[in-house]
Amino acid sequence: MFPLFVRAVGVVTSIVGILAVAPRSEEEHGMQAINRGFFISAVISAAAVFVISERVHGLVQAGRRRGDRPRSWRRVIQVLTQYFTDTKYQPVQEIAESTVTGPATTILAGLLRRPRVDGVVGRS
């Protein structure tokens, strides 16, 4: 039952994070809203999984030993999300340039975009 509880916490905290992403004002940068939703959901998720694991297993020490790994992965995921969603980075700028010609090219630009190799964008 423990894996099911952990997955349920993930679903619920994802919904909370999505609700927290709504921008608070017109001037607020999009990444600030995304980061807020990410961190709110990460903190709630960590606390809820800790409480559930304590109730199910009764092992406070086990949660502390493994607690360092997820924190580092959260930071990696946050940085990658920022790179691919923030308007000041190249992936978003390239897709924004393709919106000038219409919705079909925007979709194709998003689907066909691949990482740069030697400064050349790979396209299939």
Residue 93 falls within a domain, yes or no? no
pLDDT tens figures, 69-109: 556 677 787 888 888 888 888 888 888 888 888 888 878 87
Q: Which helix (H) or strand (E) holds 81?
A: helix 68-85
Average pLDDT over the chain, rounded to whole? Answer: 77
Q: Which helix (H) or strand (E) holds 9?
A: helix 2-20
Query: For the residues 17-42, what does the mean pLDDT come to?
Result: 85
Angle subtended at Cα 90 by Cα 84 and Cα 96, rounded to the nearest 5 degrees: 85
What pLDDT score was predicted for residue 110? Answer: 73
DSSP letter string, 85-105: H-TTSHHHHHHHHHGGG-HHH
Residue 8 falls within a domain, yes or no? yes
The per-residue b/e assignment along 71-106, b for 16 or more CB within 10 angstroms, e otherwise, is: eeebeeebeeeeeeebeeeebeeebeebeeeeeeeb
pLDDT tens figures, 109-120: 777 765 554 455
Query: For the residues 18-46, what does the mean pLDDT come to?
Result: 86
**Higher-scoring residue by pLDDT: 16, 1:** 16
Q: Which residue has the tokens 């978003």?
A: 92
Residue 32 falls within a domain, yes or no? yes
**Which range is most confident: 6-15, 19-28, 48-57, 81-90?**
6-15
Residue 39 falls within a domain, yes or no? yes
How many domains would you assign to the chain?
1
Residue 124 has pLDDT above 50, yes or no: no
Residue 59 falls within a domain, yes or no? yes
Residue 119 falls within a domain, yes or no? no
Angle subtended at Cα 25 by Cα 24 and Cα 29, rounded to the nearest 5 degrees: 90
State how far the alpha carbon of 58 is from the alpha carbons of 34, 43, 62, in Å: 34, 21, 9
Here the tokens at position 4 are 């099911």
Residue 115 falls within a domain, yes or no? no
The residue range of the domain holding 26 is: 2-66
Residue 21 falls within a domain, yes or no? yes
**Higher-scoring residue by pLDDT: 39, 81:** 39
